[in-house]
Structure 1
Amino acid sequence: MLPKPRFNVKNAILASLPLQDLAATGRFLEPIALREDMVLQEPKRHIDYIYFIESGLISLRIVGAESMLESAVIGHRGAVGALLPEGGHFSAHQSLVIFPGSAHRIRVEDLRRLMDERPEIQEHLSRYVQALSFHCAHSGLCGVRHDRERRLASWLCLASDAVDANVLPVTHHYLSSALGLRRAGVTQTLVRFEEQGLIRKMRGVLQIDERKCLKQRACSCYGLISDAYALPGSMTFGKAYHAKTVAVG
């Protein structure tokens, strides 16, 4: 008898599922490489897949009139399109890969059927949706209420959490566009962070050297958003999870 195929999951939502639910979900999961600048979803377009992110970073953004503003970043603890199985058919956001990586994707109709059959899958996904919705809401508030330095520090910490790494392949131009800030102001603030030993800037890469101090510079939104992902109960979407290998079929 041939051994059952196995796959490894690093995504926090999938890895948090009971093994039986994960095995049932695994029959419908398809691995996919995420290339830089790859668009996973467009606003007002019908969505076919939900993407459980394994590695890399996705920008969730509002676009229009030749401009955009980022609402959230999604990494290994999240899923792109998570709102849709709970009743929606169209995305309000554009989802763009900004750091390349990988994901497991599943058709929306397959996930909806699984959630009907296995309510715990829906429960786990709903907890993440609540955290993501909170993230999006506070990003909007942050853009209105908080200054450039605190917003930049908050974004760097959130992105670092999302990819579970201190090295971020991000440019001044991207930070300026995503946060709706002047590029000169972004450069000035990053130079100040570097002079204070918080970060190091290299060609196309930014490294966080003093994470604790950078978190202290971040606005209150960072702590609130981080806490939203660390929900009470048996599951967390922060770093406290373990990858799982499961046999399917």
Structure 2
Amino acid sequence: MTTLIESHRNSILAALPSAEWNRIAPHLDLVEMPAGEALYEAAPESSCIYFPCTAIVSLLHIIKNGNTAEIAVVGNEGIVGISFSMGGETIPGRAVVQRAGYGFKLTSSALKAELNHSGQFMLLLLRYTRALITQMAQTTTCNIDHSLEQRLCRWILTSLDRQQGNELELSEDLISDILGANRQEVINAVMSLQRNGLIRYLGGHLTILKRNSLGERACGCYSAIKTEYEQLLPSSTAK
């Protein structure tokens, strides 16, 4: 049985009234979410949604040439597989675990049954959907209009907002997939931030040394996304 304490690791679950929590809790499964695991691939049907707790998930758009670019990141503020709440039966793009951790899994049938009650859960999903759409739109614009270094700063800060501490485990290849840039361009951007004393990067381990300075280098997309989440979501972890 899922405990109430565990559910508080995800802001959506933590905000549910007792009656709604009691209905949904028996259907939640606590699952490991290893780094690199694909929760969804392009097009095929899936039957579950995920509520990340300590894991962070990248939502990726697949470009025609086979490359990918991140359009959103989901942590313990949100849900992966939100299209099921809107009647969808497939998940577009890919959802890949960026940071290992755990989360809760819920079948789409249990989700739809709870939504039929038209309670607080539905309102939370609608608000989260709006925030997620804003993040996707802002990230898409960012990928087109802003420099790789600005995008890297935005992505680092967005990821940090969804975890504790100031360290990230990631490879140049992962950053390349997320930002839709080639590996050498990513290395150059990372080294630029390191030379300026903002981060330390060694062997896939990134430590943020000057978070405020990263914020100054990031484009306005980061603050726009952050503001939207803070306005719409209860006790959002997008601080």
2:39 paired with 1:40 = yes
> Secondary structure of 1:197's partner?
coil
How far residue 239 of structure 1 moved from its aligned partner, in angstroms, is: 5.0
> What residue ranges of structure 2 are gaps of 5+ in the alignment?
none
Give the count of matched residue pairs.
236
How far residue 145 of structure 1 moved from its aligned partner, in angstroms, is: 0.6
Runs of at least 4 residues off by over 6 Å: none
Q: Which residue of 2 is the match for residue 90 of structure 1?
A: 90
How far residue 155 of structure 1 moved from its aligned partner, in angstroms, is: 0.7
Q: Which residue of 2 is the match for residue 202 of structure 1?
A: 202
Deviations 1:125-144 (A, max 9, x none): 11111111111111111111
**8 A Cα contact 1:58 1:99, kept in partner:** yes
**Coordinate RMSD, CA, aligned:** 1.8
C-alpha separation between the residues in 2 aligned to 1:197 and 1:79?
A: 34
Greater CA deviation, 58-67 or 84-93?
A: 58-67
How far residue 164 of structure 1 moved from its aligned partner, in angstroms, is: 3.5
Q: Which residue of 2 is the match for residue 53 of structure 1?
A: 52
Matches within 5 A, 1:1-249: 6-7=3-4, 8-9=6-7, 10-63=9-62, 64-232=64-232, 235-238=234-237
Higher strand share: 1
Give percent identity, aligned residues only. 26
> Secondary structure of 1:104's partner?
strand
TM-score (norm 2): 0.92
> What residue ranges of structure 1 are gaps of 5+ in the alignment?
241-249
**8 A Cα contact 1:60 1:94, kept in partner:** yes
> Secondary structure of 1:92's partner?
coil
C-alpha separation between the residues in 1 aligned to 2:145 and 2:160?
A: 23
Q: Name the amino acid aligned to 1:228.
A: E
TM-score (norm 1): 0.88
